Amino acid sequence: MKVAITGGIGSGKSFVCERLQHFGIYVYDCDKAAKMLIHTSIDIQKQLSDLVGTNIFVNGKLQKAELASFLLHDKANTQAINNIIHPAVAADFEKSGYDYIESAILFDSGFINRIHIDKVICVTAPINVRIQRIVNRDQITSERAKEWINRQLPQDEVLKRSQYEIVNDGQRDLDSQIQAIINNIEKLSK
């Protein structure tokens, strides 16, 4: 059974995926895969340079600030970037052998249509918690964090399309939520 883990920026998806390792479940990380492919694929680098401009790479290194500025300038830019990166990530996942995949924009970008997924787990957190996590992690303003959150599908919409929810609010026990979901998925797999 193929399982996707999703949720908005700052929801704590990556932390939940780390916890899954304690249950013997290893998760394919779309963000890490995308970064690796951007740094190793000459084809992707050329497509990004053609789209964004040659200043997107300096001495072979991706200029994250340049990319962020391009993405925030226009919503269509995000889709254009996704159209370059997602096919490569989907192909890499399909041949990876992983059963679990983490993707922040599983539904937003149509990535779910590029891969086979049986069940979706949505990691949720209150908006104020998400903003604070983003501010602390990325060293940005709360206004910028809200911009990033608003660029994604609303949390309640993602939850409606998911079969499971893990509430990562810092109050509820994550491991018991994870264990219950794993038990249910294992039961369905038999």
64 is in an annotated binding site: no
15 is in an annotated binding site: yes
13 is in an annotated binding site: yes
Task: Quick: pLDDT tens for 15-63.
Answer: 999 999 999 999 999 999 999 999 999 999 999 999 999 899 998 889 9
Quickly list DSSP for 103-127. Answer: -TTTTTTSGGGTS--SEEEEEE--H
CATH dotted code for 1-26+101-185:
3.40.50.300
53 is in an annotated binding site: no
Domain extents in the chain? 1-26+101-185, 33-97
Residue 69's H or E segment, with its range, is helix 64-73
168 pLDDT tier (thresholds 50, 70, 90): very high
Report how far residue 187's alpha carbon sits from residue 48's, in angstroms, rounded to the nearest whole number. 43
11 is in an annotated binding site: yes
Q: Report pTM.
A: 0.88
Residues in the chain: 190
Burial class, 48, CB count within 10 angstroms (exposed 0-12 / middle 13-18 / buried 19+)? buried
Evaluate if residue 73 carries a pLDDT over 90.
no
10 is in an annotated binding site: yes
Task: Quick: pLDDT tens for 121-154.
Answer: 999 999 999 999 999 999 999 999 999 899 899 9
Report how far residue 62's alpha carbon sits from residue 81's, in angstroms, rounded to the nearest whole number. 13
**23 Cβ neighbours under 8 A, 6+ residues apart:** 178, 179, 182
